[in-house]
Amino acid sequence: MKRPVGVTASGVVAILGSIFTVLLAVGAIASLFLETTQPQPPNARSGIIAGAAMFAVLAGLGIWTSVGLFRLRPWARVSILIFAGFLAVGCIFAFAATMVVPMPATMPAGAESGFHRGIAVMFGVPFAIAVWWLIQFNTPSTKAAFASSTDGPASPRPLSITIIGWLCIIGVASCLFPIFIRTPVFLFGAVFEGGIAVVIYVFFSALSLYIGKGLLDLQERARIMAIWWFGLSFAHLSLVMLVPSWRQRMFEMQRTLEQNQPNPIPFEGMLANLTLAFLAVWVAIIIWLLVKNRAAFVPAESP
């Protein structure tokens, strides 16, 4: 079947975005060799290297997906739908968070409206692209084009489970990244540092990888573990929102991490409430999808 024009255009846009991401990674590495008069935080170098590596991986995935789109590979359609979903939600959250962050006192009078317009454009363009992809790759003609490129039977795995599975696998990077910048672990009101924090992050990474792989294989055991895992996450987020002492301890840890940053963004007030509420709703949706799609999973064998 002939490739739809929208799929070709999407592949081109994805490649251009991947090239831009590569440039961000190169720029991050180049910044390590620039002389600066301001003192840098102790872990700034490790954070920049880890961030550049993350950009490089995302760019590689983007190019790989683009090639798959040109070849009408079914996995590429799923890949770009997952990315579009994250991009759309991320843009909405980032825009809302930016709107509630207080403006710097040094900002000239009257510049706030221009700043807000710039932010709207910065997040509005990728959001529009994400919506376009979500619509384009769910149209009947596009689905038929990708289905015609394979002779095998359709996958029994629901798209939502595929997204959650890959979310868990990609989440391994978010568990390992804090190790490089030596970020403490805030867990149910307690702060863990040093070697204990490393062990916790490694455990979270291994568990997330196991659950993600199990969900992609439609293992019932992995689905149950995922419900418990995200259920604990929902409980943790809810308690942080409801228990004042826990919130205060989290803010104190955040302020400690920001001591060596030149212009830190205060993670308190409306921004904190918005972030915690967003994450709690996101986790609740994941739990609901895991329960809703239980019929697609293979029952665990009795010992």
Q: 25 vs 107, which has greater pLDDT?
A: 25
Residue 187 has pLDDT above 80, yes or no: yes
The predicted pLDDT at position 39 comes to 56
- Tell me the mean pLDDT in the region 126-132: 91
d(CA 229, CA 275): 19
What is the pLDDT confidence band of residue 302, given thresholds at 50, 70 and 90?
very low
Residue 293 C-beta-side C-alpha neighbours within 13 Å: 26
The predicted pLDDT at position 37 comes to 59
d(CA 6, CA 51): 32
Residue 153 has pLDDT above 70, yes or no: no
DSSP at 155: P
Structure confidence by residue, pLDDT tens digits, 162-171:
888 888 888 8
d(CA 266, CA 40): 19
Q: How confident is the prediction for the chain on average, in pLDDT?
A: 80
The predicted pLDDT at position 100 comes to 64
- Tell me the mean pLDDT in the region 178-183: 77
Low-confidence winner among 53-57, 75-79, 144-148, 256-260 (lowest mean pLDDT): 256-260
Hey, which of 42-56, 121-135, 153-167 has the most confident mean pLDDT?
121-135
The predicted pLDDT at position 60 comes to 85
Domain ranges of the chain: 1-101+117-154, 155-303
Residue 248 has pLDDT above 90, yes or no: no
Decide: 130 and 91 in contact? Cβ < 8 Å.
Answer: yes
The predicted pLDDT at position 213 comes to 92
Q: Could you tell me the two tokens for 26? A: 């190169």
The predicted pLDDT at position 303 comes to 47
Residue 176 has pLDDT above 50, yes or no: yes
- State CA 168 to chain mean position distance: 10
Decide: 184 and 228 in contact? Cβ < 8 Å.
Answer: no
The predicted pLDDT at position 231 comes to 93
- Tell me the mean pLDDT in the region 124-148: 88
The predicted pLDDT at position 154 comes to 60
The predicted pLDDT at position 211 comes to 94
